[in-house]
């Protein structure tokens, strides 16, 4: 997968949407026996409708409170049609979480892999994480808010995902410190604070919308703020503005 450009959010969003279809088709290819419908395009389209509807309802009333009738109404698919894709809510949860985690993980890793130095990696990691959380805000919000209510297996996967992204920041900072580029007494704490700033964007999205702050403006600010904290001198702190 080629790195997704992260300076232009509309282009980034379009690529994420296209990649959702790719992941749906991959999932179908790996699990053909579980689907009663065999048309790839139909499955891809309807899975996205189902996932989007499930996230919308869950973020309004909670995943466990969501009924299949609610989902049928929101997705504009009959209850019978829903059973063509999953046997119950727990299977739906597993499918949805797997697909969304795959998308976020691949895009984030690809963006970082395309950068040569720790400062560029840190910029790319912050911007890409924020752009992903904007493009997939309902899922990021759901995964954080519902982690305590979902089944133990999915709860563990959600917590592990949070730890892995924080560790990504920690590793980048450690590399920059080893190279004499970053200066901090506690790289792990610095990474935790970066993660908290990223989470604030998707958990308190309405606050920033009221202030008319775009995701690019927020990313620029966070990157600049972090660089001022970590980089004493040397490379210019150009953030892609």
Residue 241 lies in a domain: no
Question: How many beta carbons lie within 10 A of that of residue 241, not counting itself?
Answer: 11
Between the alpha carbon of residue 109 and those of residues 24, 122, 164, 168, 183, the distances in Å are 19, 12, 11, 9, 24
Among residues 180, 12, 207, 27, the alpha carbon closest in space to that of 108 is found at 12
Residue 114 lies in a domain: yes
* Number of domains making up the chain: 1
Instruction: Return the higher-pLDDT residue of 124 and 2.
Output: 124
Mean pLDDT of 75-104: 91
Band of the pLDDT at 4, cuts 50, 70, 90?
low
pTM value is 0.88
Among residues 159, 34, 164, the alpha carbon closest in space to that of 92 is found at 34
Residue 133 lies in a domain: yes
Has residue 127 got a pLDDT over 70? yes
Mean pLDDT of 79-103: 91
Band of the pLDDT at 45, cuts 50, 70, 90?
confident
Has residue 94 got a pLDDT over 50? yes
What is the per-residue pLDDT for 239?
Answer: 42
Residue 119 lies in a domain: yes
Residue 200 structural domain: 9-230
Q: Give the chain's mean pLDDT.
A: 88
Q: Residues of the chain with pLDDT > 70: what percent?
A: 91
User: At 70, which CATH number?
Assistant: 1.10.357.10
Q: Return the SS3 of 68.
A: helix
Residue 237 lies in a domain: no
Has residue 207 got a pLDDT over 90? yes
């Amino acid at each position: 997968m080629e790195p997704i450009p992260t300076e232009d959010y509309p282009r980034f969003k379009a690529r994420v949407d296209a990649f959702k279809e790719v992941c749906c088709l991959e999932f179908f290819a790996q699990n053909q026996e579980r689907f009663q419908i065999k048309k790839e395009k139909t499955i891809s389209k309807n899975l996205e409708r189902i996932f989007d509807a499930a996230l919308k309802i869950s973020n309004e009333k909670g995943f466990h409170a969501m009924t299949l009738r609610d989902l049928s109404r929101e997705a504009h698919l009959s209850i019978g049609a829903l059973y063509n894709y999953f046997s119950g809510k727990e299977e739906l949860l597993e499918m949805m979480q797997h697909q969304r985690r795959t998308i976020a993980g691949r895009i984030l890793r690809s963006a970082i892999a395309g950068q040569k130095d720790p400062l560029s990696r840190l910029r790319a990691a912050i911007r890409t994480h924020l752009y992903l959380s904007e493009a997939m805000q309902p899922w990021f919000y759901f995964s954080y808010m519902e982690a305590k209510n979902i089944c133990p297996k999915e709860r563990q996967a959600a917590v592990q995902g949070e730890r892995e992204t924080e560790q990504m920041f920690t590793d980048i900072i450690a590399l920059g410190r080893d190279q004499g580029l970053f200066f901090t007494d506690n790289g792990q704490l610095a990474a935790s604070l970066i993660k908290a700033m990223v989470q604030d964007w998707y958990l308190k999205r309405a606050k920033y919308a009221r202030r008319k702050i775009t995701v690019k403006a927020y990313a620029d600010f966070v990157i600049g703020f972090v660089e001022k904290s970590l980089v004493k001198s040397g490379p210019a702190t150009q953030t892609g503005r």
